Amino acid sequence: MYGAILGDIAGSRYEFSRPSHFRPWQVDLFGGTCRYTDDTVMSVAVKYALLTGTPYAKVFHLFGNRYPKAGYGVMFKQWLETGSMRGYNSLGNGGAMRVSFIGHWALSLEEAEAQAALSADCTHNHPQGIAAAKCTAGAVYLALHGAKKSDIMHYASRYGYSVHRPLALYRPFGKFDVTAAGTMPLALRCFYESQDWESCIRNAFSVKCDTDTVSCIAGGIADAFYGGTGMDEERLLYKYLVQPDRFGRFDRFLYEWAIQKWERREPV
Protein backbone atom coordinates (compact mmCIF):
# COMPACT_ATOMS: atom_id res chain seq x y z
CA MET A 1 0.00 0.00 0.00
CA TYR A 2 2.94 2.36 0.52
CA GLY A 3 3.46 2.45 -3.24
CA ALA A 4 -0.05 3.79 -3.77
CA ILE A 5 0.29 6.51 -1.13
CA LEU A 6 3.73 7.60 -2.29
CA GLY A 7 2.52 7.57 -5.88
CA ASP A 8 -0.29 9.92 -4.89
CA ILE A 9 2.13 12.25 -3.08
CA ALA A 10 4.68 12.24 -5.92
CA GLY A 11 2.01 12.91 -8.55
CA SER A 12 0.15 15.57 -6.58
CA ARG A 13 2.19 18.55 -7.80
CA TYR A 14 1.66 17.71 -11.48
CA GLU A 15 -2.09 17.14 -11.38
CA PHE A 16 -3.05 20.54 -12.79
CA SER A 17 0.16 22.19 -14.00
CA ARG A 18 3.71 21.42 -15.10
CA PRO A 19 6.71 23.68 -15.58
CA SER A 20 7.82 24.49 -19.09
CA HIS A 21 10.33 22.03 -20.55
CA PHE A 22 9.14 19.43 -18.04
CA ARG A 23 11.44 16.39 -17.97
CA PRO A 24 9.66 13.46 -16.30
CA TRP A 25 12.78 11.29 -16.26
CA GLN A 26 15.01 13.82 -14.46
CA VAL A 27 12.70 15.72 -12.09
CA ASP A 28 12.86 14.85 -8.39
CA LEU A 29 10.09 12.49 -7.38
CA PHE A 30 9.39 14.32 -4.14
CA GLY A 31 9.70 17.95 -3.15
CA GLY A 32 8.27 21.33 -3.96
CA THR A 33 4.50 21.32 -3.53
CA CYS A 34 4.09 17.57 -3.06
CA ARG A 35 1.36 16.68 -0.60
CA TYR A 36 -1.05 13.87 0.15
CA THR A 37 -4.49 14.11 -1.44
CA ASP A 38 -7.86 12.42 -1.06
CA ASP A 39 -6.33 9.33 -2.70
CA THR A 40 -4.11 8.81 0.34
CA VAL A 41 -6.81 9.66 2.88
CA MET A 42 -9.25 7.18 1.39
CA SER A 43 -6.60 4.49 0.88
CA VAL A 44 -5.82 4.64 4.61
CA ALA A 45 -9.56 4.72 5.33
CA VAL A 46 -10.02 1.40 3.51
CA LYS A 47 -7.24 -0.14 5.60
CA TYR A 48 -8.87 1.21 8.77
CA ALA A 49 -12.24 -0.23 7.72
CA LEU A 50 -10.81 -3.70 7.13
CA LEU A 51 -8.72 -3.82 10.29
CA THR A 52 -11.46 -2.50 12.58
CA GLY A 53 -14.47 -4.11 10.92
CA THR A 54 -16.17 -0.74 10.44
CA PRO A 55 -18.48 -0.27 7.41
CA TYR A 56 -16.81 1.53 4.52
CA ALA A 57 -19.34 4.36 4.28
CA LYS A 58 -18.96 5.18 7.97
CA VAL A 59 -15.15 5.19 7.70
CA PHE A 60 -15.15 7.37 4.58
CA HIS A 61 -17.18 9.93 6.49
CA LEU A 62 -14.84 9.68 9.48
CA PHE A 63 -11.72 10.27 7.39
CA GLY A 64 -13.31 12.70 4.98
CA ASN A 65 -14.52 14.97 7.77
CA ARG A 66 -11.24 14.70 9.65
CA TYR A 67 -9.28 15.72 6.52
CA PRO A 68 -11.73 18.02 4.70
CA LYS A 69 -9.14 19.82 2.54
CA ALA A 70 -7.56 16.80 0.87
CA GLY A 71 -8.97 17.65 -2.56
CA TYR A 72 -12.18 15.64 -2.88
CA GLY A 73 -14.33 15.79 -5.99
CA VAL A 74 -17.55 17.81 -5.99
CA MET A 75 -19.87 14.80 -5.74
CA PHE A 76 -17.89 13.21 -2.91
CA LYS A 77 -17.91 16.52 -0.99
CA GLN A 78 -21.68 16.70 -1.33
CA TRP A 79 -21.92 13.09 -0.15
CA LEU A 80 -19.90 13.99 2.95
CA GLU A 81 -21.93 17.10 3.65
CA THR A 82 -25.26 15.30 3.46
CA GLY A 83 -24.12 12.42 5.66
CA SER A 84 -25.35 9.93 3.07
CA MET A 85 -24.45 6.25 3.31
CA ARG A 86 -25.66 5.43 -0.21
CA GLY A 87 -23.83 5.57 -3.53
CA TYR A 88 -24.31 8.42 -5.97
CA ASN A 89 -23.68 6.42 -9.15
CA SER A 90 -20.22 7.87 -9.78
CA LEU A 91 -18.23 6.47 -12.70
CA GLY A 92 -15.10 8.34 -11.58
CA ASN A 93 -11.74 6.85 -10.60
CA GLY A 94 -12.22 7.44 -6.86
CA GLY A 95 -13.32 3.89 -6.16
CA ALA A 96 -10.17 2.46 -7.77
CA MET A 97 -7.57 4.73 -6.20
CA ARG A 98 -8.29 3.65 -2.61
CA VAL A 99 -8.31 -0.18 -2.81
CA SER A 100 -4.63 -1.20 -2.90
CA PHE A 101 -4.68 -2.52 0.69
CA ILE A 102 -7.53 -4.86 -0.21
CA GLY A 103 -5.18 -6.69 -2.58
CA HIS A 104 -2.79 -7.27 0.33
CA TRP A 105 -5.51 -8.21 2.83
CA ALA A 106 -7.52 -10.63 0.69
CA LEU A 107 -6.92 -14.37 0.83
CA SER A 108 -8.12 -14.98 -2.72
CA LEU A 109 -8.69 -13.08 -5.94
CA GLU A 110 -12.42 -13.53 -5.46
CA GLU A 111 -12.26 -11.98 -2.00
CA ALA A 112 -10.23 -9.06 -3.31
CA GLU A 113 -12.82 -8.39 -5.99
CA ALA A 114 -15.75 -8.75 -3.60
CA GLN A 115 -14.30 -6.39 -1.01
CA ALA A 116 -13.35 -3.86 -3.66
CA ALA A 117 -16.91 -3.89 -5.00
CA LEU A 118 -18.24 -3.41 -1.48
CA SER A 119 -15.86 -0.50 -0.86
CA ALA A 120 -16.97 1.21 -4.09
CA ASP A 121 -20.68 0.59 -3.70
CA CYS A 122 -21.30 3.30 -1.09
CA THR A 123 -20.02 6.03 -3.45
CA HIS A 124 -18.89 4.83 -6.89
CA ASN A 125 -21.71 2.37 -7.53
CA HIS A 126 -21.88 2.93 -11.27
CA PRO A 127 -20.82 -0.31 -13.04
CA GLN A 128 -17.67 1.42 -14.34
CA GLY A 129 -16.75 2.64 -10.85
CA ILE A 130 -17.17 -0.83 -9.36
CA ALA A 131 -15.29 -2.52 -12.20
CA ALA A 132 -12.29 -0.22 -11.76
CA ALA A 133 -12.14 -0.91 -8.02
CA LYS A 134 -12.35 -4.67 -8.57
CA CYS A 135 -9.71 -4.62 -11.30
CA THR A 136 -7.26 -2.58 -9.21
CA ALA A 137 -7.57 -4.73 -6.10
CA GLY A 138 -7.38 -7.87 -8.23
CA ALA A 139 -4.27 -6.65 -10.03
CA VAL A 140 -2.56 -5.93 -6.70
CA TYR A 141 -3.50 -9.39 -5.44
CA LEU A 142 -2.17 -11.08 -8.57
CA ALA A 143 1.05 -9.03 -8.47
CA LEU A 144 1.65 -10.11 -4.88
CA HIS A 145 1.11 -13.75 -5.73
CA GLY A 146 3.57 -14.16 -8.55
CA ALA A 147 1.54 -13.32 -11.64
CA LYS A 148 3.47 -12.16 -14.70
CA LYS A 149 2.83 -8.72 -16.16
CA SER A 150 1.15 -10.32 -19.16
CA ASP A 151 -1.17 -12.26 -16.82
CA ILE A 152 -2.15 -9.06 -15.00
CA MET A 153 -2.83 -7.25 -18.25
CA HIS A 154 -4.88 -10.16 -19.54
CA TYR A 155 -6.86 -10.08 -16.29
CA ALA A 156 -7.49 -6.34 -16.73
CA SER A 157 -8.66 -6.86 -20.30
CA ARG A 158 -11.49 -9.00 -18.93
CA TYR A 159 -12.94 -5.79 -17.51
CA GLY A 160 -13.03 -4.32 -21.00
CA TYR A 161 -9.90 -2.18 -20.66
CA SER A 162 -7.79 -1.74 -23.77
CA VAL A 163 -4.31 -2.39 -22.39
CA HIS A 164 -2.29 -2.70 -25.61
CA ARG A 165 -1.94 0.99 -26.46
CA PRO A 166 1.68 2.00 -25.65
CA LEU A 167 2.50 5.11 -23.65
CA ALA A 168 4.14 6.61 -26.74
CA LEU A 169 0.65 6.95 -28.20
CA TYR A 170 -0.79 8.43 -25.00
CA ARG A 171 1.77 11.22 -24.65
CA PRO A 172 0.78 13.44 -27.61
CA PHE A 173 -2.90 13.32 -26.65
CA GLY A 174 -2.83 13.22 -22.86
CA LYS A 175 -5.59 15.04 -20.99
CA PHE A 176 -7.02 15.40 -17.52
CA ASP A 177 -9.59 12.61 -17.20
CA VAL A 178 -11.08 11.52 -13.87
CA THR A 179 -13.34 8.79 -15.23
CA ALA A 180 -12.62 5.20 -14.29
CA ALA A 181 -12.73 4.15 -17.94
CA GLY A 182 -10.21 6.82 -18.91
CA THR A 183 -7.87 6.27 -15.96
CA MET A 184 -7.52 2.49 -15.75
CA PRO A 185 -5.95 1.69 -19.15
CA LEU A 186 -3.33 4.41 -18.67
CA ALA A 187 -2.49 3.37 -15.10
CA LEU A 188 -2.14 -0.25 -16.17
CA ARG A 189 0.10 0.74 -19.06
CA CYS A 190 2.32 2.84 -16.76
CA PHE A 191 2.83 -0.29 -14.68
CA TYR A 192 3.35 -2.57 -17.69
CA GLU A 193 6.08 -0.41 -19.25
CA SER A 194 7.99 0.01 -15.96
CA GLN A 195 11.16 -1.64 -14.70
CA ASP A 196 10.62 -0.76 -11.04
CA TRP A 197 8.31 1.36 -8.90
CA GLU A 198 10.11 4.62 -9.64
CA SER A 199 9.97 4.16 -13.41
CA CYS A 200 6.26 3.36 -13.09
CA ILE A 201 5.65 6.74 -11.42
CA ARG A 202 7.80 8.53 -14.00
CA ASN A 203 5.73 6.87 -16.72
CA ALA A 204 2.69 8.55 -15.17
CA PHE A 205 4.58 11.85 -15.08
CA SER A 206 5.25 11.51 -18.81
CA VAL A 207 1.58 11.75 -19.78
CA LYS A 208 -0.69 14.71 -19.09
CA CYS A 209 -3.36 13.12 -16.89
CA ASP A 210 -4.92 12.99 -13.44
CA THR A 211 -1.36 12.43 -12.28
CA ASP A 212 -1.84 11.78 -8.58
CA THR A 213 -4.56 9.16 -9.13
CA VAL A 214 -2.85 7.44 -12.06
CA SER A 215 0.34 7.30 -9.96
CA CYS A 216 -1.62 6.00 -6.97
CA ILE A 217 -3.27 3.17 -8.89
CA ALA A 218 -0.20 2.23 -10.94
CA GLY A 219 2.11 2.69 -7.96
CA GLY A 220 0.07 0.32 -5.83
CA ILE A 221 0.29 -2.42 -8.45
CA ALA A 222 4.00 -1.78 -9.06
CA ASP A 223 4.77 -1.88 -5.32
CA ALA A 224 3.12 -5.30 -5.09
CA PHE A 225 4.83 -6.60 -8.23
CA TYR A 226 8.36 -5.39 -7.47
CA GLY A 227 8.24 -6.09 -3.74
CA GLY A 228 8.45 -2.47 -2.62
CA THR A 229 9.15 1.03 -3.84
CA GLY A 230 12.90 1.22 -3.25
CA MET A 231 12.28 4.46 -1.31
CA ASP A 232 12.82 5.30 2.35
CA GLU A 233 9.13 4.67 2.80
CA GLU A 234 8.37 5.37 6.44
CA ARG A 235 10.52 8.50 6.45
CA LEU A 236 8.63 9.86 3.46
CA LEU A 237 5.29 8.89 4.93
CA TYR A 238 6.15 10.64 8.18
CA LYS A 239 7.31 13.74 6.32
CA TYR A 240 4.15 14.11 4.27
CA LEU A 241 1.44 12.58 6.46
CA VAL A 242 2.27 14.13 9.83
CA GLN A 243 0.96 17.66 9.33
CA PRO A 244 -0.36 20.37 11.68
CA ASP A 245 -4.11 20.27 12.26
CA ARG A 246 -6.28 23.39 12.47
CA PHE A 247 -5.15 23.91 16.06
CA GLY A 248 -1.46 23.76 15.14
CA ARG A 249 -0.95 20.32 16.68
CA PHE A 250 0.82 17.65 14.65
CA ASP A 251 -1.76 15.05 13.66
CA ARG A 252 -0.31 11.52 13.56
CA PHE A 253 -3.59 9.67 12.99
CA LEU A 254 -3.28 9.27 9.21
CA TYR A 255 0.39 8.28 9.42
CA GLU A 256 -0.14 5.76 12.22
CA TRP A 257 -2.94 4.00 10.34
CA ALA A 258 -0.93 4.06 7.12
CA ILE A 259 1.92 2.14 8.79
CA GLN A 260 -0.30 0.09 11.12
CA LYS A 261 1.04 -3.46 11.40
CA TRP A 262 -1.41 -6.27 10.83
CA GLU A 263 -1.45 -10.04 10.71
CA ARG A 264 -2.94 -12.06 7.89
CA ARG A 265 -6.15 -13.82 8.74
CA GLU A 266 -6.47 -17.57 8.57
CA PRO A 267 -8.62 -18.94 5.75
CA VAL A 268 -12.18 -19.66 6.83
- Residue 76 sits in which domain range? 2-14+35-82+91-258
> Does residue 102 lie in a domain region?
yes
Helices (H), the chain: 2-11, 38-52, 56-66, 74-82, 100-105, 109-121, 127-144, 149-157, 167-170, 180-192, 197-205, 211-226, 233-241, 253-258
> Does residue 70 lie in a domain region?
yes
> Does residue 24 lie in a domain region?
no
- Report which DSSP code applies to 243: E
> Does residue 144 lie in a domain region?
yes
CATH code for the domain of 221: 1.10.4080.10
The pLDDT score that the predictor gives to residue 267 is 62
> Does residue 153 lie in a domain region?
yes
Write the pLDDT tens digit of every residue in 80-129.
999 999 999 999 999 999 999 999 999 999 999 999 999 999 999 999 99
* Cβ(112)–Cβ(93) below 8 Å: no
- The residues, ordered by sequence, that sit 6+ positions from 192 with a Cβ below 8 Å of its Cβ are 149, 152, 153, 163
Confidence of residue 32 (pLDDT cuts 50, 70, 90): confident
> Does residue 134 lie in a domain region?
yes
> Does residue 23 lie in a domain region?
no
* Selection from 80, 53, 49, 76 nearest residue 66 by Cα: 80
> Would you mind telling me the total number of residues written for the chain in this entry?
268
Does 226 have pLDDT greater than 70? yes
Write the pLDDT tens digit of every residue in 171-185.
998 888 999 999 999
> Does residue 103 lie in a domain region?
yes
Q: Read off the pTM.
A: 0.95
Q: How many domains is the chain partitioned into structurally?
A: 1
